[in-house]
Copies of this chain bind each other. A is one copy, B any other.
Amino acid sequence: MREIAILGIGQTPIAEQWEKSLRQLAGEALAAAMADAHIDAPQVQALCVGNMLSGPLNRQENIGALIADWAGLRNIEASKIEAACGSGAAAFRAGLMAVASGEHDVVAVVGVEKMTETGSSSTTSGLASAADADWEAAQGLSFVAINALVMRRYMHEFGWKHDDFAPFSINAHANAAHNPNARLHESITMKDYSRARMVADPINLLDASPIGDGAAAILLCPADRLHSNGHPIITVAASASATDSIAVHDRFDPMTLAAAQLSAQKAYTQAGVSPEDIDLFELHDAFSIMAALSLEACGFAERGQGVRLGLDDQIGPRGKVPVATRGGLKARGHPVGATGVYQLVELIQQLRGEAGATQVPDAKIGLAQNIGGSGATVVTHILRRN
């Protein structure tokens, strides 16, 4: 593909934002990205929106046109891309293709989700639509319950205790404490983790990421057309996507995220790098089990050994594989369809050297992986500081 560069980034805080509508959240992130890029609305030629639940939760579809109009981009091409919790990175990838095809030069990507204002039961039922409606959700399995089954099996098969997963949550919360846009700012201790209220055994409250309302945006352009915008030059070194069965029971090996593995392998090949070259990894820690499985799928640990990186103190900003450096899904928060764009925005902050107290020293090559469903749709990106 044509080499593509980052023109600008923007984000809103993740919180309960009842006073703001879906379009307002998206518009704020887009305005911030345009300001960061030093460009005006008329330069933007297309908009890709990542969102999962606007239909059931906000009773609003057609949000490509809706947000374009609100953001001052009336008449440009716009549509929504949906891949459950992987929608954000899928929209980013659609934006890349719009530029790579030569169809557009300046493309805006925005991930947005507004999910705290409806009753909690409809949010739970909305999230269950990321799973197989006929063979999982219809049996009464919520999305957290599906992940709980996977975590229980992982503990059984590889001999880990629940407490062994604690470092993922402790690290995420410690990092989020320094991220002004994070949903949660409280550091947690091992004791907090052990004593947290059970949600779906063995997943407790501190294994699970909080939902939230928020939007994050990125502006893209061909690398050869990037004008000086005052930021270090960040380019997209690789973009790859793969799928797996939605229902976990249909997989050849429920302990392997095959789509994560496949898309990561493709991305490493495209970028010409291997896991050892990655300076940080914004992974999809919707549940702590997913953090472990993602590390394994992306080649940072052997099958069943992902938790060891946490226990060995290797996942902090100065560790061997820094993850969730701005809080991750666990503490920055998980506004589902927006999450993939937040991950990329945070990765870009790290590569620019703008990550403050949790800056990974001299970060040059970063990986971001966004997952829709329990490993069903996976989109992997590698970004590089030139």
Residues of chain A whose beta carbon lies under 8 Å from any beta carbon of chain B: 1-2, 21, 52-56, 58-62, 64-66, 68-69, 74-84, 86-87, 90, 94, 96-98, 100-103, 125-126, 128-134, 137, 240-246, 250, 258-259, 262, 372-373, 376-377
Bound CA–CA A17/B125 (angstroms): 24
Copies in the complex: 2
The answer for the CA separation of A233 and B267 in the assembled complex, in Å, is: 35
Per a CB cutoff under 8 Å, which of B2, B52, B372 touches A65?
Answer: B372
Chain B residues whose C-beta falls within 8 Å of the C-beta of A137 in the assembled complex: 59
| Bound Cα distance A96, B86 (Å) | 22
The answer on a CB contact under 8 Å between B133 and A75 is no
Which B residues are in CB contact (< 8 Å) with A128?
59
Alpha-carbon gap, A61 to B83, bound state (A): 7
- Inter-subunit contact B83/A81 (CB<8 Å): no
CB neighbours (8 Å) of A75 from chain B are 242-244, 258-259, 262
Cβ contacts under 8 Å, A90 to chain B: 79
A103 with B102: CB separation less than 8 A: no
Select A100's contact among B52, B94, B103, beta carbons within 8 Å: B103
Collect the chain B residues with CB atoms within 8 Å of residue A246's CB. 62, 65-66, 69
Which of B69, B134, B250 makes the CB contact (< 8 A) with A243? B69
Chain B residues lying within 8 Å of A96, measured Cβ to Cβ, are: 101
Q: How far is the CB of A17 from chain B (nearest CB, A)?
A: 15
CB closest residue in chain B, given A58? B133
Whether the Cβ atoms of A78 and B129 lie closer than 8 Å is no
